Amino acid sequence: MSIRQAVLDFVNLGPLPDSTAEPERVALHQVHLQRFKRPISDEEAELLLRSFGSDDCYGLAWTLLHLIESAPGGIPLASQPAEADNEWLRRLWARSHR
């Protein structure tokens, strides 16, 4: 399956901003994130892993996490993230191994 344009557009925005970002920047990510149709493909889930920021971005990180979890192949992490890796990657790993 090819990667849909909505996913590419979202990834091209860069990682989710943190809670100190300007409201317009957060809103832009939100609008793009809402364009996705579920489920996403495994390839799209892998690409979206790089879109997590440093905090929950007013809940958008949770939306992104649930979207990645909708991929038919499960989360695209081959190994457990290190303690120094992004907390959202660690959270995805932990949720998938419960």
Q: How far is CA 24 from the centre of its chain?
A: 19
Give the start-to-end residue ranges of the domains of the chain: 5-96
Nearest to 67 by CA among 88, 94, 82, 48: 48
State pLDDT tens for residues 12-49.
999 999 999 999 999 999 999 999 988 999 999 999 99
State pLDDT tens for residues 42-77.
999 999 999 999 999 999 999 999 999 999 999 999
